[in-house]
């Protein structure tokens, strides 16, 4: 049994179970319509589902950061629309993947209505299933500490086989996508808010959200 840093809503409930596992409902586009801070907070506890080479990799979101469009110098969308950041300006619920420091990818989901920039960066997941494959993708020995798999924005992309090609712009609200986000009813018991990390500009704003006490958050 995986460690659960929270509790189930409405559980157990007949009809929601599937082969002993809670049913996962994709989050609709409307979920991402709000401002990035609200969406970042609400994404805690949700599941990221990655279908890759016939396998399904799943991680629970335990750490997020909000990046506003206008008035946020730290956001990629701050300088205005470019080829690189165009997904942030598009419809909500799409994957924005960018390449950073010459070797790492980072995954975001777009927020706000079409035409308005904003997004949420995924900073850490708690691995739920497919741990052996995640370790392989990370180049770690099978049985390596699960904390090394998805604790960090670059790590989680590597563990889920996320690159720009083929993933950037993907619709995260559709279970037919190779990558989508779902809700299994899990509700975090406590949430912490801190300033964002790893950035130089606007590093004082409290826009980083974590599940309190979770062991899989980043440093």
Partner DNA sequence: GGAGCGATGTCCT
Partner DNA sequence: GGACATCGCTCCG
CB nearer DNA, residue 1 or residue 103: 103
202 binds DNA (CB under 7 A): no
Q: Which of 12, 19, 20, 101 binds DNA (CB under 7 A)?
A: 101
Structure tokens at 114: 């079409």
Question: Are 50 and 57 within 8 A, CB to CB?
Answer: yes
**Could you say which of 46, 76, 94, 208 contacts DNA (CB under 7 A)?**
76
| Smallest separation (angstroms) from DNA to the CB of 208 | 10
Quick check: 182 binds DNA (CB under 7 A)?
no
Contact of 61 with 48, CB cutoff 8 Å: yes
Q: Is the peptide bond before 12 cis (omega within 30 degrees of 0)?
A: yes
CA distance 199 to 75: 10
Q: Do residues 121 and 65 touch, judged by C-beta distance below 8 A?
A: yes
Segment near DNA (CB under 7 A), from 8-16, 53-61, 103-111, 126-134? Answer: 103-111
Regarding beta strands 118-129 and 104-110, do their DSSP bridges make them parallel or antiparallel, or are they unpaired? antiparallel
177 is a contact residue toward DNA (CB under 7 A): no
Question: Which range in 24-32, 49-57, 177-185, 190-198 contacts DNA by CB under 7 A?
Answer: 190-198
Q: How far is CA 53 from CA 58, 69, 133, 135, 161, in A?
A: 14, 35, 10, 15, 10
> Does 21 participate in binding DNA (rule CB under 7 A)?
no
Q: How far is the CB of 67 from DNA (least distance, A)?
A: 4
Q: Does 218 bind DNA (CB under 7 A)?
A: yes
User: How far, in Å, CA of 80 to CA of 211, rounded?
Assistant: 32
Interface positions with DNA (CB under 7 A) = 65, 67, 74-77, 79, 82-85, 88, 96, 99-104, 106, 108, 119, 121, 138, 148, 152-156, 196-201, 218
């Amino acid at each position: 049994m995986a460690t659960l840093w929270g509790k189930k809503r409405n559980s157990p409930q007949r009809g929601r179970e599937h082969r002993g596992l809670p049913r996962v409902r994709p989050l609709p586009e409307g979920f991402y319509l709000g401002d990035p801070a609200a969406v970042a907070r609400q994404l805690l506890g949700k599941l990221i589902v990655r279908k890759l080479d016939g396998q399904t990799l799943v991680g629970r979101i335990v750490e997020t950061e909000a990046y506003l469009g206008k008035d946020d110098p730290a956001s990629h969308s701050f300088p205005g629309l470019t080829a690189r950041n165009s997904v942030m300006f598009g419809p909500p619920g799409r994957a924005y993947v960018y390449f950073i420091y010459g070797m790492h990818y980072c995954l975001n989901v777009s927020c706000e209505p079409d035409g308005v920039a904003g997004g949420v960066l995924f900073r850490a997941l708690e691995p739920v299933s497919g741990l052996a494959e995640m370790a392989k993708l990370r180049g770690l020995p099978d049985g390596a500490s699960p904390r090394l798999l998805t604790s960090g924005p670059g790590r989680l992309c590597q563990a889920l086989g996320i690159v720009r090609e083929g993933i950037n712009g993907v619709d995260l609200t559709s279970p037919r996508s190779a990558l989508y986000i779902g809700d299994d009813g899990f509700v975090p018991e406590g949430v912490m808010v801190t300033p964002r990390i790893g950035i130089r500009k606007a590093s004082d704003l409290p826009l980083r959200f974590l599940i309190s006490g979770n062991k899989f958050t980043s440093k």
